[in-house]
Structure 1
Amino acid sequence: MVNTTPFSKMDDVPMTCFRIDESGYTGFDLLNADQRFQGASAIAIDNDDAGRLIKEHFPRLQATELKYGALSRRASNHPRLLGLLKDLLSDFDCVTYVADKRFMLTLMFVDYSVEPYCYERGINLYENGQNYAMASMLHMAGPTLLGKTEFAALMDAFQRAMKEKNPQSLRKLVEAARAANWREMPEVLGPLAQYADRDCLSAIATPGVSTDIAIVVLLSLITRMEVMAEGVYRVEHDQSKNLSTYHNLLQRYINHDEEVEFRATEITSLRFPLKLDEVTQVDSKSSPAVQLADVMIGAAIEAGNALTGLRPRGVDPEALMPLYREDQFIHMLPSIDFEEQRRFRSGSQNSQAIDYLASNIFGKQR
């Protein structure tokens, strides 16, 4: 029998393969009412181990493919799912990333509707996570201070302006900012409501930038996969339409060979060239390992929905969350612990990283 396992170019050992899957992808639409969270999981497991675990935990499975969504509908499957997840989190290198898409939209609002105004005045809004703190404040206090209807209209107008990029949508965004009780949060809404700042409007109208957060999701997985992999590694994912976006982004990262490194947080950094060497698409029906990546992200997204009272079904999140180690779960959620976030993001080079990725990988520049 011929061994077809890819080998590392660096050390002649079998190359680590992370299987990834995503959930909650809605493109530019971060206000989608049915899918509040978006995320992805990566796990370094081969198909033999994956197949063995599936048989151990679901010996009577009749379906051609293990799908979390189908299994979680039956309460009798929940203990088996928790048992499977416990084995995966205990025995294999893996990471899961989950983002609240509405918070991500407010974070982008700060990045495009506030930061350019500050940048031109010598203020680094990314220093020590100030943009994160401002977005958290906007997300959590905005509906009360600005007016619930007005805040919703503002976020909708911003999302539309980022997509349409025409004078009409930009004008409506400024009007939405002025219609809100913006003087309650002048440091956030002032650049648009008071000044209709040209730098901010120009940033929003920049061709190519959008509210699609697939880039953010992937970067979060990559920073952990780069740490977990001892040498060169590869990625496999399903052939779904949504994952085609992730596939193209991963290939761009692989092709970038300049040496550069950026500090993101207290525990993460991004360094090029990546150890990631290859990305391939497979049919999930023939890949038990990819099916387990689906189980991991499916459980995490469903837990997020249950904890926020959106859809309280599926495995018990109070039983699931303690199974993760700190380095196995990454979340992008609002936080009002500003001092902790300042410490965590102190020295962040996110501003430089954004400019670098835009101009060197995606061909756009602030």
Structure 2
Amino acid sequence: MSQNADMECFRIDESGYTGFDLLNPDQRFQGASAIAIRDEDAALLIKEHFPRLQTPELKYRSLSRRPGNHQPLLALQRDLLTHYKSVSYVCDKRFLLVLMFVDYAVEPFYYERGIDFYENGQNYAMASLLTMAGPTILGQAAFDALLAQFQHAAKAKTPEALTALVAAARATRWRELPEALGPLAQYAAPECLSAIATPGVNTDAALVVLQSLINRMEVMAESAYRVEHDQSKNLLTYHDLLQRFIDHDQEIEFHQTEIASLKFPLKLAEVTQVDSKTSPAVQLADVMIGAAIEAATSLTGLRSGGLDPEAVMSLYADNQFIHLIPSIDFEEQRRFRQGTQASELIDYFAVNFSGPRKS
């Protein structure tokens, strides 16, 4: 039980977590939702929209399979998004992996030559280009193999894995995109290989997801707040990261985009695990992220069925939904990320929130 029961509480839940493997074809998207609602209010909403519910726990995946539940699910989410503070974050894991490739297998090469590769979101522009055009330009099979080898090298960190990564880069048609693949394929740039081999550098997306949720919760919370989440195995990584954020007391602030910044120490003061069966509020967080992930999957044509994705997305205000997907509107990306401190933030997180937790 929380020691600060009167403190504002955001309940969170995740979906699509596959650890270091961002290429899992069955789970293209990963995300999480946070909603500030009391268990008592959550229970009343569940009873109002699902008065005949027989199961002890509201689970989005089970409910969405039945067409008769679609309208109540939409109505429930409309109530939540209209009356309660909330945010949902969804990322394309393949794009995130490419973005990580750019961060560690490309950017250090330019940094050594005095070029700020993060200026005005250049890294996002290159990652978007690679994600959307890379298979055609570099060769589908070769590009897939490159991403798989990068993911493996970031986890294994052995000389053999790094050598195999360089070989995978050279096996693509890299001369068609030398700005992106040249550092590895042409130069086997030691600064890039060193970055990938750095302890704590990995392809786990949990930190990226949590950072985005925290950005919004910090804005929505007027004062100190706490977080509750389910006891699932997947959320153990999130729990550890949340505790690190709470424990971090250094005073510092980073500007990320025109609408996002992150300031330490956080207002977030406490994180606790609960049994979702006894927490209607956590069950509603499950509904929120379940619907958001399903909508993303449907809109990209990867799967059909479930709720109408356009109806789901129409419920969200702009500041309630965050997404990380590739975009070839490079001018918009430049404007959105102008003046970003992405480089400093990546370095800061690598030092303070990666690797084994210090006791």
The aligned counterpart of 1:6 is 4
What is the alpha-carbon distance in structure 2 between the residues aligned to residue 217 and residue 120 of structure 1? 29
Q: Percent identity, aligned pairs only? A: 70
The aligned counterpart of 1:318 is 310
Q: 1:121 aligns with which of 110, 113, 118?
A: 113
What is the alpha-carbon distance in structure 2 between the residues aligned to residue 70 and residue 214 of structure 1? 25
Q: State whether structure 2 residue 103 is matched by structure 1 residue 105.
A: no
Q: 1:349 aligns with which of 341, 348, 351?
A: 341
Whether the 8 Å CA contact 1:44–1:94 is kept in 2: the answer is yes
Q: 1:197 aligns with which of 144, 164, 189?
A: 189
Report matched runs for 1:272-287 at 5 Å: 272-287=264-279
The aligned counterpart of 1:44 is 36
The aligned counterpart of 2:127 is 135
What secondary structure, in the 3-state scheme, does the structure 2 residue paired with 1:323 have?
Answer: coil
What secondary structure, in the 3-state scheme, does the structure 2 residue paired with 1:129 have?
Answer: helix
- TM-score w.r.t. length of structure 1: 0.95
Task: Report how many aligned residue pairs link the two structures.
Answer: 356
What is the alpha-carbon distance in structure 1 between the residues aligned to residue 353 and residue 50 of structure 2? 43
The aligned counterpart of 2:332 is 340
The aligned counterpart of 2:321 is 329
What is the alpha-carbon distance in structure 1 between the residues aligned to residue 3 and residue 138 of structure 2? 57
User: 1:21 is aligned with what amino acid?
Assistant: D
Q: State whether structure 2 residue 222 is matched by structure 1 residue 240.
A: no
The aligned counterpart of 1:32 is 24
Deviation, structure 1 residue 160: 0.9
User: 1:136 is aligned with what amino acid?
Assistant: S
Deviation, structure 1 residue 358: 2.1
What is the alpha-carbon distance in structure 2 between the residues aligned to residue 135 and residue 316 of structure 1? 30
The aligned counterpart of 2:261 is 269
What is the alpha-carbon distance in structure 2 between the residues aligned to residue 119 and residue 336 of structure 1? 24
What secondary structure, in the 3-state scheme, does the structure 1 residue paired with 2:202 have?
Answer: coil
User: 1:46 is aligned with what amino acid?
Assistant: R
Report matched runs for 1:64-83 at 5 Å: 64-83=56-75
User: 1:24 is aligned with what amino acid?
Assistant: G
- TM-score w.r.t. length of structure 2: 0.97
Q: 1:60 aligns with which of 52, 60, 64?
A: 52
User: 2:181 is aligned with what amino acid?
Assistant: L
Distance 1:306 1:363, change over 3 A: closer
Whether the 8 Å CA contact 1:20–1:235 is kept in 2: the answer is yes
> What stretches of structure 1 move > 4 A for 4+ residues in a row?
none
Q: 1:163 aligns with which of 144, 155, 162?
A: 155
Consecutive unaligned residues in structure 1, runs of 5 or more: 8-13
Deviation, structure 1 residue 310: 1.2
What is the alpha-carbon distance in structure 2 between the residues aligned to residue 241 and residue 167 of structure 1? 32
What is the alpha-carbon distance in structure 2 between the residues aligned to residue 363 and residue 160 of structure 1? 17
What is the alpha-carbon distance in structure 2 between the residues aligned to residue 362 and residue 295 of structure 1? 30
User: 1:305 is aligned with what amino acid?
Assistant: T
Q: State whether structure 2 residue 148 is matched by structure 1 residue 148.
A: no
Whether the 8 Å CA contact 2:49–2:75 is kept in 1: the answer is yes
Residues 259-310 of structure 1 deviation map (CA, whole Å, 9 limit, x = unaligned)? 1000010001000000000000000000000000000000000011111111
Consecutive unaligned residues in structure 2, runs of 5 or more: none
Cα RMSD (Å) = 1.3
User: 1:320 is aligned with what amino acid?
Assistant: V
Whether the 8 Å CA contact 1:5–1:15 is kept in 2: the answer is no
